[in-house]
Every structure is written in structure tokens, then in C-alpha cells.
Amino acid sequence: MRSAGEGLLGILICVLVYAVLTLVFVDPAVAAEAAAHGGHDIGTELPVWTALPFAGILLSIALCPLLMPHFWHNHFGKISVFWSLLFAVPFLFFYHQVAVYYILHIYLIDYIPFIILLWGLFTVAGGIVVRGSLKGTPALNTVMLLIGTILASCVGTTGAAMVMIRPVLRANKDRLKKTHVVCFFIFLVANIGGSLTPLGDPPLFLGFLHNVPFFWVTTNVLPHMLTASGILLALFFILDTFYYRNEKGQVESGPEEEKIPFKIEGVVNFIFLLGIVCLVLMSGYWKPGHFNVLGVHLEYQGVLRDLGIITMGALSLMFTSKALREANDFSWFPIMEVAKLFAGIFMTIIPALAILKAGNEGALSGLVSAVRESYHYFWVTGALSSFLDNAPTYLTFFNLALGKLGIVESAVPAALAVKAATANPEFILYLKAISAGAVFMGANTYIGNAPNFMVKSIAEEAGINMPSFFGYMIKYSIPILVPVFILVTFIFF
């Protein structure tokens, strides 16, 4: 297991490798002036092909693990850097200080807070160990999935997945068929369960960073979440019961194992989880002001939140024994992979965001014109979230919806822009569709949400034969999830 220092140092390198080189070009006065260009004007100038590096990194994530798994495992960070530089170098060459402003803005406002939250939840949850002699009956499996689904909105899909996946795997170690258990776990715990708070899933946290009220999704997306998760839990219980009954008598009984009483170890980490929740809440309600970094407005409460989350993670590492993390087979690799890949995604998504924010004046005016109704937002956001990762996709369509109403965050203070939008019934329906689509349909593929890959990797280490990228879609997500989402569309959108 890599040391904590290596993990944290690696994440810092991921940030610095994309930021330090650009800073040498900065003239503070020009960068401040570039801030006035915000996010609308430049989108009218950029052609669609400037988003090709974005498509390239996403296709790499989808195809390289399938076509060249060994090479990808050892060099995915370099591939992320390649696509990032392929966009950043010409962008800096042609747009100079304006390009620097855009790069700094997306990293300081979006990427760094996003990856710090993900790292904090991953680190703290990795110190919680659930022990006990559990037998994976359909009833117990359904209850564990339900607990994980509820937990996901409280501690994040990453935190809930890391806390719950190992107890689920241990409970089902003697089952013959258990791939479906992990796939439904990805559906519910790693995705749909995180749809009720900004802590639940990265796209909602990005919405919170852009001034969507903390409990907005709790009150507005709850019916959608209850409908989708209720149907999936019922389907899972029926399917698991069918497999369980067919397996009776097929498993040879070995020597009786020693009964291990149920207990939770590393409970001090629940204090640190609560600390992260309180820090996120604080950053949403305490507004002490902001300061300027080369034209980018940073809020004091946001910086304090991020430092606090890092502190919670550091305290977890300090007060959790190495033995407990080893019991969880804890490794820094999953969060390192996410940090490196997301650094590239956030860099290369800049032109796509700018073009979409330009609305009918941008190169994607045809797409903007086609996305008109709430169900369009639900399915287009969701379909792209299935392949493009749901956090940046949410941000793209969030800005598109604002642009539809003629509201641009850079034209007025961001808080006022979103406050005005969330008082608009049309935008409320759009944002419900965007939020549900981004979170729900992240479950359609392994690349739809960061925890999906983590859960798949842990399951394979436990000896479970997980389906391939396309096998997961053909056998599970398309026949199971798509009909559920169609039903959600007819009921709510």
C-alpha cells in the first residue's frame, strides 16, 4: 500500500502539472482584464473541433482499458497529459492571457475543490471496517443495498461505495452468482443513491459550488430518486431470490467457519465524515467575501472548506491504524487514477463549456436549439453522462440552461444569477432533469461516475468475474436501467 504522503503528493502533482506552466505566461493586470470576458464571448469564436481533445481523452478512457489494458494501467496519466497539452498549448498560443484565465478558473473553482472532496471522502471511508459473519441472502443483500443507497447522499457515492462494497462482497463470498449484486450496487450505491445532496455525487457538488442551494436537490429530486431506487431494489430482490433458490444444494459445504460477531471498527472516522459534511454546509451558508487570484474570484469560505477537508483526511490517516486500512485492502491507486484523468477532462472540456454557454451564438447552436424540453435535458445530460463522466456534463448543461434563459453567470454575480434562475419555474424543471439525468445515468457505463471503476476493481480483486465495458451495458444497464429511466421520464418529465 502506498504511503499517505505518496497519495497526497501525487494529487498535488496532478494539479501542478496543469497549472504551473501556464502561470509563467501571466501578466496579473491582463489576467484581471481577461476575467471580463467571462464565459460567453470566447464561446462565439471557438469552433467545434477545439473539443476534439475532450473527445479523445474520453474515448481513451472507454477503449484503452479494453484494447491495451497493460499499457493503460501504467500510462493513463501520461495519456491524460497528452490530451491536455494538445488543447492547452494552442489555446495559450492564440488566446494568451484570456486562455490563462479560463484554465485557472476551471481548476481553482471546479477541479481542485472537486478532487479535494473526493479525496477526503475516499480517505476517511477507507478507514471504516465492517466485520461480521454475514450470509448473502436476498433479504440481507437488499437491505445492504438500501443502506448503501441512503448512505450515498450523506457521505457521497465514493464514501458509501468504499464503506459498503467489502461487507457486501464478504457476505456473498459463497454465492455462485454474484456479478449481478455488484452491478446493482453500482446502480444504486455508486450512482442513484447520491442524488439528494451535493455531498452525494460530484455533479451536484459542482452545482453547489455554482450557488445552487444545498437542500435544493433534496426537496426537488426526492420523488425521482425514490421511484428509480424503489423499482431497482424490487427488481434486485426478485432476481437475487431466483439465483439464490437455484443455487441451493449446488455449493459444497466445507468446514464450518468461526462465527465473527458483527462490529464496526474505525468508528472515529465517522467524526471526520461529519466534519466534512459540516464544512460543506458551512461553505454554502457563510459568505465572508472573496479575494482575487489573477482575475479569478475565490471565496474565503471555499478555501477554508477545502483546507478543512484535507485536515479531516489527514486526521483519519493519523488516527486509523494501518491494520484497519489493510483489512479494507486500501490503496491510493483508485483516487490517483481519478485525479489524473479528471485533471485532463477538466482541461479539455473548456471549449465545450464555452461553446455551449454561448447558446445560439456558438458553434453548437444546433444542439442548443434541439434541447428545449425538460425530457431533452434529462436524456441528453444522462446519455452524455454515461460516457463523458457526469460531473463536467452536469456543468455543461447547467450553463446551457442558464443561457437558455438569457442568464450568464459572468454578467452578474454568480449567486444572483442562480438565485434568479431557481426562482424561474422553467429553470427548476430543467435543473431537476439535469440533476437526475447526470446522477442516475452515470450508472449506464463504468466511466459514467468515478466510484464505478473503483467498485469494479475491488470486485475483480475479490475474484468476481465482472463484465467488460460493453458487456456491462448489454447485460445490465440497457435492459435494466433504460426501461426504469423511460418510466421516470413519463412520470416526471
pLDDT tens string 367-417:
667 787 889 999 988 988 887 667 767 877 887 777 666 655 544 444 555
HEC letters along 295-318: CEEEEHHHHHHHHHHHHHHHHHHH
H or E element at residue 148: helix 138-171
Q: Which residue has the higher pLDDT, 409 or 91?
A: 91
Residues in the chain: 493
Q: Is the pLDDT of residue 285 over 80?
A: no
Residue 237's alpha-carbon distances to 136, 140, 171, 174, 196, in angstroms, are 12, 10, 16, 18, 23
Alpha helices in 213-332 (DSSP H): 216-247, 268-285, 300-319, 322-327
Cα 39 from Cα 55, distance rounded (Å): 21
Nearest alpha-carbon partner for 209 in 125, 144, 116: 116
Is residue 184 a contact partner of residue 149, using CB atoms and an 8 Å limit?
no
DSSP assignment of 400-424 equals: HHHHHTT--TTTS-HHHHHHHHHTS
pLDDT tens string 300-321:
888 899 999 999 999 999 999 8
CA atoms within 13 A on the CB side of 371: 28
pLDDT tens string 15-70:
444 444 444 444 545 554 554 544 446 777 888 888 899 888 878 877 887 788 88
Is residue 7 a contact partner of residue 325, using CB atoms and an 8 Å limit?
no
Is residue 330 a contact partner of residue 107, using CB atoms and an 8 Å limit?
no
Q: Is the pLDDT of residue 249 over 80?
A: no
Cα 362 from Cα 355, distance rounded (Å): 5
Pairing of strands 296-299, 263-265: unpaired
- Per the rule left: phi > 0, alpha: psi between -120 and 50, beta: everything else, 292 is beta
User: What is the value of pTM for the model shown?
Assistant: 0.78
Give me the pLDDT at residue 237, please.
Answer: 96
Is residue 357 a contact partner of residue 40, using CB atoms and an 8 Å limit?
yes
Give CA angle at 389 (37, 43), nearest 5°.
20
pLDDT tens string 192-226:
999 998 888 878 887 887 778 888 888 889 999 99
Instruction: Give the chain's mean pLDDT.
Output: 80
Distance of CA 16 to the CA centre of its chain: 21
Rounding to the nearest 10 degrees, give the CA dihedral for residues 54, 57, 59, 65. -170
Q: Range with the lowest mean pLDDT among 69-83, 168-182, 291-305, 383-397? A: 383-397
Q: Which grid coordinates are listed for 118?
A: 473526493
